[in-house]
Structure 1
Amino acid sequence: MEKKDILILGCGIGGLAAANILADKLGEKANITVIEKKKYFQFPPSYPWLMIGKRTQDQVQKDLSVLAGKGINVVNEEITSIDPVRKTVATTVSEYTGDFLIISLGTQYNPDAIPGFSEYAHHIYDLDSAISFRDAVADFDHGSVAIGISRLPFKCPAAPYEVAFLLDDYFSRKGSRGNIQINFYTPEPNPVPSVGPEIGDKVLKFLGSRGINYSPRMKLKEVRKENLVFESGDTMDYDLLFSVPPHAAPEPVVKAGMTDSTGWVPVNVKNLETKFPGVFAIGDVASIPTPKGYVPYLPKAGVFAHGQAKVVANNIAKTIVGNGKKKEWDGNGACFLETGHGKSAFMEGKFLEEPKPLIDFREPSSMWHVQKVAFEKYWMRHWF
């Protein structure tokens, strides 16, 4: 049987899982190539811990070159264009053609979309920025911290709330919390709206119990040196600013004509195939409507990228070998909400369920914190 060529674009959570599963299922039956500009896989769920000094850079990343030992070819090149009809991918160095394409490029951050954001705001949505914010936090001992969300959608809906809780914990342990005001702003109507208003109310109470001021329905217009300006005309003073940067689909995906009016890549919900046969999109780059959900579209989160990678990798493998049962993605996902002080909450849901999503919320406890640490260790060992 002639070997098939599988191109995986991006090696975040979804791309890494897909590459491993395909290598395990197909072995010598396929050439598996991962195109990823970074030499290291980095684990964003650990960035909030890095932010407060509980993780080092080496603890949150792994060298992708070790995947060669599994028969996975990792190409450290930047993608410049994609032709989904011909299934070709151009990089700054070469061009590649596949029989199957898995688009797992995640999101592109556009801080310059908001005046002043790049100059004054910190975030933790890439490793270098997380390290920079960690250093700023370590030097901060009094004043006002603004934490917020600049635009929707963004990946990992719980992350900015984790930042707020962990900073409260961090400053409390340092003995400086009494000198620091924490204000949270968001364009959302309530915290983590994708899991529904009842859970949002719980998170709101957690914020209040920590003395964190919460301002919903506040869309950021401009960042100035000492205050934020919102589209409503309201302002918020700050001395240290964390904000989720505006997210967008990566430029090569947009230029390829793969996105729709949402700005993201529409897919078949069951198998993640795009309108181009043999081309799949998984994770944050995909647009999945949830007409019965609490929000119009599925939130962007690593747990969905992981689940979708399993389905796509399985189905490509079954197509190549010509037998076996294909899988359908079920829309299920779970995430932890780190609340500081050695505790975490846990949320688990069926996001495509009708007539409405079924979401289970577990109250913060040390057990869930231990489970989150265990998951981190599992992930960083299992795929390498």
Structure 2
Amino acid sequence: MKQLLILGAGSAGTMLLNHLSKTINAKEWQITIIDQSKLHYYQPGFLFLPFDIYSEKDVIKEGNKFIPPGCKLIQAKIEKIFPGEQTVKLEDGQEIRYDILVIATGSQIAPQEVEGMLGESWQKNIFDFYTFEGAVNLRNFLRKWNGGKMVVHITEMPIKCPVAPLEFAFLADWYFTRKGIRNKVDITYVTPLSGAFTKPIASKKLGYLLSEKSIKIVPDFAIERVDTVNKKIISYDDIQVPYDLLVTVPTNMGDEAIARSGIGDDLNFVPTNKHTLQSKTYDNIFVVGDATDIPTSKAGSVAHFEAEIVVKNILSYMKNQPLRESFDGHANCFVETGFNKAMLIDFNYDHQPTDGVFPIKGIGPLPLLKESRLPHWGKHAFKWIYWNMLLKGRKVPFISPNMSKDGKNLEEN
């Protein structure tokens, strides 16, 4: 029997596993997925943990609940991939052979990449919220914090969910307002980009939100080090931003197993054809989710759209048929702005976020690039959709893996 092996049971790996289990001939192919964790985390929910909007039970479930019948789960740490031999070695020495490999090993924070970030102050007055532990520790800190200088900081791109740091700043404004101490908290948003958003049109149209919420912005900030003694972050051109509380998004890097295997770039992301999601180096390897180096957002929606497309290319590869160059970099994200409001952005490789409606032309019901209550409730409804539909490989009605141009004003792109 031939072997299809998936590395990583996070969002992308689990979604793809469920799609494949419905389409592959189980008499010819054994599907195996490997992940070291017994738990599956709803990572978009980490944003809400620090503000007591979500609790632990909202973001954690047993991972084996999402493994379909007939598929094999191995819970182990991946040591190294040997593409020439078509094997994967696990930490315990076991070697797994494959005919087709899917890399879905995700990305992780690397605070050690910035001098002074990972030290005695880490998880004391310097926090991340991109990990479960970081988000919970930050929540416990904020419950007791009475104010001061809070800096929300991005180290460098790319990062998971590029809008999440901005959402954090907006939610912090709302959180401290509800606590009655907003006047005691100075919020500064520090970014390596030239504007608040990663896309220029969105940044131009929505920059007013920062000034409206009295959030200062420090753009074009390339961090050199963290001075934990004097509580400052310092850039290479000696711009200094003081903090009492630093909420940082460290460098994001691919899994260390990718580095050990010698198949990644400088950040351990795997060079991937951006339209077929096939490895640029090995024909029988496909890459999905945050593990790729493709120029689109590292977000859950992208993993969802990639899974729907790459399953067709894997089937084509099995039949020795040409692959479809059909993935267009489609991403859509709900951007929380606080006070029970949010906005929706929808874009791809060729088109920046623009106004209009989503998903149905002339109907919507969701407005694009416009702050309102409906996208806020849409974002919270996504949690149910994620656990009950996306992870199980069920199609969401009216949502296409490729970006629809209907209902959008694309003239300004």
Please tell me whether the aligned partners of residues 156 and 250 of structure 2 are also in contact (alpha carbons under 8 angstroms). yes
> Could you tell me which residue of structure 2 aligns to residue 114 of structure 1?
114
The answer to whether the Cα contact below 8 Å between 2:14 and 2:67 also exists between their aligned partners in 1 is no
1:1-384 alignment, distance < 5 Å: 3-26=1-24, 28-29=26-27, 30-93=29-92, 94-119=94-119, 120=121, 121-193=126-198, 195=199, 197-225=200-228, 226-260=231-265, 264-274=269-279, 275-288=281-294, 297-320=295-318, 328-351=326-349, 353=350, 357=352, 359-360=354-355, 361-382=368-389, 383=391
Contact 2:201 2:352 in 1 (8 A): no
Instruction: Determine if contact 1:338/1:344 at 8 Å carries over to the other structure.
Output: yes
Q: CA deviation at 1:61?
A: 1.8
Task: Sort the Cα spacing of 1:87 and 1:325 in 2 relative to 1 into closer, same or farther, 3 A.
Answer: closer
Mapped to 1, the partners of 2:136 and 2:55 lie a distance apart of: 9
For the residues of structure 2 that align with 1:123 and 1:262, how far apart are their CA atoms? 19
Counterpart CA distance in 1 for 2:344 and 2:127 is 27
- Counterparts in 2 of 1:323 and 1:269: CA distance versus 1, 3 Å: closer
CA deviation after TM superposition for structure 1 residue 27, in Å: 5.8
Deviation at 1:287, TM superposition (A): 1.5
Alpha-carbon separation, structure 1, partners of 2:189 and 2:67: 44
Name the residue aligned to 2:408: none
Comparing 268-277 and 325-334, the one that deviates more: 325-334
Specify the alignment match of 1:294 in structure 2. Answer: none
Task: Measure the CA separation in 1 of the matches of 2:91 and 2:267.
Answer: 28
CA contact (8 A) 2:201 2:354 kept: no
Letter in 1 for 2:254: A
Whole-angstrom distance in 2 between the partners of 1:171 and 1:300: 29
Report the AA paired with residue 368 of structure 1: P
Partners of 2:95 and 2:372 in 1: CA distance: 50
Deviations 1:137-187 (A, max 9, x none): 111121110101012221111000011001111111011111111011111
User: Contact 1:114–1:223 (CA<8 Å) still a contact in 2?
Assistant: yes
State the TM-score, normalized to the length of structure 1: 0.90
Structure number having the greater helix percentage = 1
The aligned amino acid for 1:55 is: Y
- 8 Å CA contact retained: 2:40, 2:62: yes
Please state whether the residue corresponding to 2:369 is helix, strand or coil: strand
Distance 1:202 1:349, change over 3 A: same
Letter in 2 for 1:181: D
Off by >6 Å, runs of 4+ in structure 1:
321-325
- Aligned equivalents of 2:323 and 2:242: distance in 1? 57
Instruction: Give the 3 Å change call, closer, same or farther, for CA 264–189 of structure 1 in structure 2.
Output: same
The secondary structure found in structure 2 opposite 1:364 is coil
| Identity percentage of aligned residues | 28
TM-superposed CA distance for 1:359, in Å, is 4.0
SS in 1 for 2:118: helix
The residue type paired with residue 44 of structure 2 is P
Computed over aligned residues only, the root mean square deviation of the Cα atoms, in angstroms, reads 2.1
TM-score normalised by the chain length of structure 2: 0.84
